[in-house]
Amino acid sequence: MLLFSFSFLLPSHVSTAKPSLETKVHKLNEATRKNQGVVELDSNLYDEVTSRPRNYSIVILLTALDPQINCVPCKDFDPEFRLVASSWLSENIPSRIYFGVLDFKNGREIYSKLNLNNAPTLFYFPPTTGQYAKEVSEPDRYNFNKHGFEAEPFASYLSHHLGTKVPVKRPLNKMAIFVYTFFILAGLAILKLMFPIVQSLIQNKKIWTMFSLITILMMISGHMWNHIRGPPYVMVQGGKINYIASGFSSQLGMESQIVAIMYGVCAFSVVLLIISIPKIEDKTKQRFGIYIWMGILVAMFSFLFALFRIKNPGYPFRLFA
């Protein structure tokens, strides 16, 4: 993959009139100084700055911030990227490494040339000449799946390549801190004021029951799986919405909630049959209740079977043929 992506660049050098190293560096410095540490690129500029020889390293983020291309990770990563760029600018001399951004709307050619069909993509171009030049001169592709979209892993990745520490200086958001502290204080105050209520809440058995039952239901309906794997809530295929993921060991967000509710209903009906039905004095009422709740239980259980048969087609049992 690395080789392929780079290889497309090779012929491109011949096409563009080869600019001298100085002009390139000059341009880059200008742009860098202009908007804090980041060079906005377009197709030609891209070819230019990536063309050999380079006595600088450059990371180029190919992104798509266009609202109609709804690229969530691009949006997530963009500020982080700029953060790293700016904190580098504030710390070190810029001429060592440059941070380029190529948006899709300015660089369709490049996208097509590299036949990239997923953004964001990030390349690191090591220097080819100068003191920092290494023997590897192909660009390295940043693995988002592995490092994720935060600034810190990205910075450590860069420092790994440059050999020097790349800092990340998050400007601490005073407003936020203030708000938080305020809320905390307010919360404490409220706690103090209405302590009796809180106490009664804490000592209330029903609340605890509810709480623990809900936790259990969430857990046994595979909520942790969603939490870790982060599946889509529902899956839209050809216009129709899927609530149920196919496959035994996968599920959708909604699916697990459906299951939780079904479990809940079953459990609830059992509890009713045990607890409140015997308390009904009127005989017919009681009979009525029993029939209803038993019916609900059976129905839910059979639904469960049906659902499970979807997940595991080989499953032989069912409540109603």
Partner 1 sequence: MVLGLDVQNQAALLKVVILGLISFVAIASRLFSIIRFESVIHEFDPWFNYRATRYLVSTSFYEFWNWFDERSWYPLGRVVGGTVFPGLMVTSATIYNILHALNFSVDIRNICVLLAPTFSAFTAISAYLLTAEIKDSSAGLLAAAFIGIAPGYISRSVAGSYDNEGIAIFLLMFTFYLWIKGLKEGSAFYGALTALFYFYMVAAWGGYVFIINLIPLHAFVLILMGRFSSRLYVAYSSFYVLGTLMSMQIPFVGFQPTRTSEHMAALGIFGILQIIAFVELVRSHLASNQFQILFKSFIIFSFVAMFSALVLLTFGGYIAPWTGRFYSLWDTGYAKKYIPIIASVSEHQPTAWPSFFFDLQMLIFLFPAGIYLCFRELRDEHVFVILYGITASYFAGVMVRLMLTLTPIVCVTAAVAVSRLLDIYLDVDNLETERSVDRPESDNKDNKDKDNKDNKGKHKKLKEGTSRSSLIQSNQSKIFGIKGFDTRAIVLMNFYFFLVIFVWHCTWVTSNAYSSPSIVLASRRPDGSQFIIDDFREAYYWLRKNTDYNSKVMSWWDYGYQIAGMADRTTLVDNNTWNNTHIATVGKAMASSEEVAYQIMRRHDVDYVLVIFGGLLGYSGDDINKFLWMIRIAEGVYPDEVKEGNFFTSRGEYRVDDEATPTMRNSIMYKMSYHNYNELFGGQGQDRVRSARLPSEKIKLSTLEEAYTTENWIVRIYKVKELDNLGRSLEHAAAFNSGKKRRRTKTSKKKSTKNG
Residue 10 binding partner 1, by CB under 8 A: yes
Residue 217 binding partner 1, by CB under 8 A: yes
Q: How far is CA 289 from CA 262, 274, 277, 279, 300, in A?
A: 19, 12, 7, 11, 16
Positions 269 through 298 that interact with partner 1 (CB under 8 A): 270-271, 273-275, 277-281, 283, 286-287, 290-291, 294, 297-298
58 contact partners, CB below 8 Å, separation of at least 6: 28, 49, 50, 97, 98, 99, 100, 124, 125
Residue 68 binding partner 1, by CB under 8 A: no
User: Helices 195-202 & 174-193, crossing angle to 10 degrees?
Assistant: 80
Residue 312 binding partner 1, by CB under 8 A: yes
- Beta-sheet strands, E only, within the chain: 38-41, 57-63, 97-103, 121-125, 140-141, 235-237, 240-242
Total Cβ atoms within 10 A of residue 170: 10
Positions 112 through 131 that interact with partner 1 (CB under 8 A): 115, 117-118
Residue 219 binding partner 1, by CB under 8 A: yes
CA atoms within 13 A on the CB side of 165: 4
Positions 225 through 244 that interact with partner 1 (CB under 8 A): 225, 227-229
Q: How far is the CB of 178 from partner 1 (least distance, A)?
A: 29
Q: How far is the CB of 70 from partner 1 (least distance, A)?
A: 20
Among 48, 78, 80, 255, binds partner 1 (CB under 8 A): 255
Positions 18 through 37 that interact with partner 1 (CB under 8 A): none
Residue 52 binding partner 1, by CB under 8 A: no
Among 67, 146, 163, 239, binds partner 1 (CB under 8 A): 146
What value, to the nearest 5°, has the Cα angle with vertex 96 and ends 90 and 98?
Answer: 75
Residue nearer to partner 1 on the CB measure, 70 or 203: 203
Residue 313 binding partner 1, by CB under 8 A: no
104 contact partners, CB below 8 Å, separation of at least 6: 62, 63, 64, 65, 66, 69, 111, 119
Binding pattern for the stretch 170-209 against partner 1, x by CB under 8 A and - elsewhere = -----------------------------------x--xx
